[in-house]
């Protein structure tokens, strides 16, 4: 990496600026030189020093200064020092993520650790990143740190087997905390309690496409996460009650509402129940056995037709995911008792009505994309904490209620693409926090004049709005934070000269806007510009 960009990257992560601060230039240059301009190492060290006192900067400089030769080995040593700066609980979390939680939704994985706030507040950064999709990710190089750090100890703590004979021969299993099986057998293997009795420290168990039989009383005293994809329809284990279990993942299994495990497994501490892709579920199980459940995932249970009313007893439920439950057309009225619910995801269902009464106090996300039969309740505007609303492709929705844009609304993202909506409420300008507006493929004829008061707006997507005609008003120049403007395949006839004042505009898409014959001066920072060939000759920049 070029030295200028290396310094800029380091300052971004270490100081939160694009350049150095007074008193820092020399030490910044020394750190950047020591990293060999390797982006990963720059980011790791910079983030580790963020908010630290000068004394800690000097200490870290002392650790890496003797290794200024640019080599792969030196990079590993620097990363090892950064790892060494973590305390023991953070180190445990790092290895857990590297071994079995990389690529997992952080909101689910975080229940694995009693001190889950360490992850929530990004203490592990930059060794671990949480993406915009909330997924945990570790750089592929960092996953090989165990070759340099306590490799022998790690190999005892985390075990992965593809062969049963190898598992049976393995010694030292009493220290195992994470055990993963990827067995390539034609028939599901049947595990007995004796297979695990010598491993009382297991916290994570991956048991895909296997069965269990026997008495499992007190076998898993510390088990917190059980991943059992492909779990069989018959549950043959007895006394299976891991009292510490907080995550149960039965995705793509044969379980039904009367599966034996629901009766035999005592799961009072369970926080996450994942039943993704359990297509044998026609009726959901009763939920009275999970009083502390916070995340219920029934995504892609494509034959589910009935959600048990006991779901209303889950007083701590934060997220209900019913995505792609295509046969589900009714939500129980008992959902109104979910006063803690923050996310309701019903995308791709056949749901016709949403019972909003009750949980309106806390609901932040209502996602109902591709609900082709859904009608929008007037009370949606009364959801006092609603930040994200998606109605994409809900073609029967013709109008947004005026209440959705009442003063003080916290709404940040609104997607009405593919709906029958032809106009926005006159009070739309009250949505002062709105950042993203998506209305592709709908019947909008014009932007309401009040929209230009939305100074938080960063994205406008109005592609293929064939009824959107005339000129874009000059008020667009007031949207000082606008980054993306997509008007492709619309009938707009002009852009105002004020568009040049949009200093943050990065993307402008006016491709196939056939009524548009000329372009005004455009912002100099434009990075992505889609326009028809006839317009290319009429614009000098970019």
Neighbours of 515 (CB within 10 A): 12
Min mean pLDDT across 54-63, 408-417, 433-442 is at 54-63
The more confidently predicted of residues 278 and 120 is: 278
Closest alpha carbon to 113 in 222, 260, 233: 222
| Any domain includes 488 | no
| Any domain includes 135 | yes
Phi-psi region of 324 (alpha: psi -120 to 50; beta: other; left: phi over 0): left
By the 8 A CB rule, do 98 and 143 touch? yes
117 and 134 share a domain?
yes
The confidence band for 388, taking pLDDT boundaries of 50, 70 and 90, is very high
181-190, 285-294, 372-381: which has the highest mean pLDDT?
285-294
Range of the domain at 33: 3-84
What is the rounded distance in angstroms from the CA atom of residue 69 to the CA atom of residue 288? 62
Q: Which residue has the tokens 């589900």?
A: 328
13-22, 111-120, 278-287, 519-528: which has the highest mean pLDDT?
278-287
When pLDDT is averaged across residues 122-140 and rounded to a whole number, the result is 77
Q: Who contacts 516 (Cβ-Cβ below 8 Å, separation ≥6)?
A: 492, 493, 494, 495, 510, 532, 535
b/e sequence 491-511, b meaning 16+ C-beta within 10 Å: bbeebeebbbbbeebbebbbb
What is the rounded distance in angstroms from the CA atom of residue 532 to the CA atom of residue 490? 12
What is the rounded distance in angstroms from the CA atom of residue 363 to the CA atom of residue 446? 31
Q: What percent of the chain has pLDDT over 90?
A: 57
Min mean pLDDT across 38-42, 115-119, 168-172, 380-384 is at 115-119
When pLDDT is averaged across residues 456-478 and rounded to a whole number, the result is 95
The more confidently predicted of residues 206 and 75 is: 206
When pLDDT is averaged across residues 164-188 and rounded to a whole number, the result is 84
User: Which of 149, 170, 187 marks a domain boundary?
Assistant: 149
Min mean pLDDT across 147-151, 267-271, 357-361, 423-427 is at 147-151
69 and 92 share a domain?
no
pLDDT at residue 143, rounded to an integer: 63
| Any domain includes 109 | yes
User: Which of 84, 101, 131 marks a domain boundary?
Assistant: 84
What is the rounded distance in angstroms from the CA atom of residue 208 to the CA atom of residue 182? 7
What is the rounded distance in angstroms from the CA atom of residue 121 to the CA atom of residue 209? 35
User: Which of 59, 84, 109 marks a domain boundary?
Assistant: 84
Residue 542 has pLDDT above 80, yes or no: no
User: Over the stretch 25-48, which tens digit does the pLDDT of each residue have?
Assistant: 778 888 788 777 777 777 877 777
69 and 108 share a domain?
no
Taking only Cα atoms into account, the Rg of the chain, rounded to an integer number of angstroms, comes to 28
The more confidently predicted of residues 75 and 233 is: 233
Closest alpha carbon to 338 in 365, 366, 310: 310
For strands 210-215 and 189-192, give the pairing.
parallel
Q: Which residues are registered as beta bridge partners of 492?
A: 470
Q: Structural domain tally of the chain?
A: 2
DSSP SS3 for 37: coil
| Any domain includes 102 | yes
DSSP SS3 for 320: strand
Terminal-residue alpha carbon distance, the chain: 27
80 and 92 share a domain?
no
To the nearest whole number, what is the mean pLDDT of the chain?
87
The confidence band for 537, taking pLDDT boundaries of 50, 70 and 90, is very low
| Any domain includes 398 | no
pLDDT at residue 58, rounded to an integer: 80
Neighbours of 486 (CB within 10 A): 21
106 and 79 share a domain?
no
DSSP SS3 for 461: strand
| Any domain includes 302 | no
User: Over the stretch 492-513, which tens digit does the pLDDT of each residue have?
Assistant: 999 999 999 999 999 999 999 9
13 and 75 share a domain?
yes
Q: Which residue has the tokens 């750089």?
A: 139
Phi-psi region of 309 (alpha: psi -120 to 50; beta: other; left: phi over 0): alpha
109 and 67 share a domain?
no
Residue 21 has pLDDT above 70, yes or no: no
The confidence band for 156, taking pLDDT boundaries of 50, 70 and 90, is low
What is the rounded distance in angstroms from the CA atom of residue 24 to the CA atom of residue 519? 45
Q: Which residue has the tokens 């006192």?
A: 53
- What values do phi and psi take at 249, rounded to 5? -110, 105
b/e sequence 294-304, b meaning 16+ C-beta within 10 Å: bbbbbbbbeeb
When pLDDT is averaged across residues 391-420 and rounded to a whole number, the result is 93
- What values do phi and psi take at 388, rounded to 5? -130, 125
When pLDDT is averaged across residues 213-229 and rounded to a whole number, the result is 95
| Any domain includes 261 | no
80 and 10 share a domain?
yes
95 and 37 share a domain?
no
When pLDDT is averaged across residues 356-361 and rounded to a whole number, the result is 71
């Amino acid at each position: 990496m070029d030295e200028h960009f290396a310094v800029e990257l380091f300052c971004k992560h270490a100081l939160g600026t694009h350049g150095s601060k007074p008193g820092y230039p020399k030490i910044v240059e020394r750190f950047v030189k020591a990293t060999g301009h390797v982006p990963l190492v720059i980011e790791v060290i910079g983030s580790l020093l963020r908010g630290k006192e000068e004394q800690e900067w000097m200490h870290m400089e002392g650790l890496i200064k003797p290794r200024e030769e640019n080599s792969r080995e030196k990079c590993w040593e620097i990363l090892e020092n950064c790892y060494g700066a973590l305390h023991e609980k953070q180190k445990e979390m790092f290895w857990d993520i590297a071994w079995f939680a990389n690529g997992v939704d952080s909101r689910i994985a975080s229940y694995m650790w009693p001190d889950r706030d360490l992850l929530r507040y990004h203490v592990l950064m930059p060794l671990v990143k949480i993406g915009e999709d909330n997924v945990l990710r570790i750089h592929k190089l960092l996953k090989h740190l165990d070759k340099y750090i306590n490799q022998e100890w790690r190999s005892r703590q985390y075990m992965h087997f593809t062969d049963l004979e190898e598992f049976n021969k393995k010694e030292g299993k009493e220290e195992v905390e994470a055990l993963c099986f990827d067995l390539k057998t034609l028939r599901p293997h049947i595990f007995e309690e004796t297979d695990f009795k010598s491993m009382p420290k297991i916290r994570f168990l991956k048991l895909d496409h296997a069965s269990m039989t026997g008495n499992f009383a007190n076998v898993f005293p510390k088990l917190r996460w059980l991943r059992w994809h492909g779990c069989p329809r018959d549950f043959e284990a007895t006394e299976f009650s891991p009292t510490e279990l907080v995550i149960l993942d039965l995705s793509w299994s044969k379980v039904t509402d009367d599966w034996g495990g629901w009766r035999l497994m005592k799961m009072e501490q369970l926080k996450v129940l994942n039943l993704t892709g359990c297509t044998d579920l026609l009726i959901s199980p009763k939920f009275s056995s999970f009083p502390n459940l916070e995340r219920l995932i029934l995504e892609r249970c494509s034959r589910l037709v009935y959600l048990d009313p006991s779901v209303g007893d889950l007083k701590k439920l934060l997220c209900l995911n019913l995505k792609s439950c295509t046969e589900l057309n009714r939500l129980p009225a008992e959902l109104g008792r979910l006063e803690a619910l923050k996310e309701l995801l019903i995308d791709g269902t056949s749901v016709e009505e949403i019972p909003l009464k009750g949980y309106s106090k806390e609901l932040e996300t209502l996602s109902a994309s591709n609900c082709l039969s859904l009608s929008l309740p007037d009370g949606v505007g009364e959801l006092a904490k609603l930040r994200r609303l998606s109605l994409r492709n809900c073609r029967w929705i013709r109008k947004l209620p005026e209440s959705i844009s009442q003063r003080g609304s916290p709404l940040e993202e609104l997607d009405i693409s593919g709906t029958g909506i032809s106009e926005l409420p006159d009070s739309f300008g009250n949505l002062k926090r709105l950042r993203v507006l998506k209305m592709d493929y709908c019947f909008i004829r014009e932007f309401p004049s009040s929209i230009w008061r939305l100074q938080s707006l960063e994205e406008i997507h109005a592609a293929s709005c064939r009824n959107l005609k005339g000129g874009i008003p000059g008020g667009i120049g007031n949207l000082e934070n606008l980054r993306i403007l997509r008007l492709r395949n619309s009938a707009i006839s002009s852009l105002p000269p004020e568009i040049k004042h949009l200093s943050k505009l990065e993307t402008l898409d006016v491709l196939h806007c056939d009524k548009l014959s000329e372009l005004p001066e455009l912002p100099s920072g434009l990075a992505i510009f889609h326009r028809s060939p006839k317009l290319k000759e009429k614009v000098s920049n970019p």
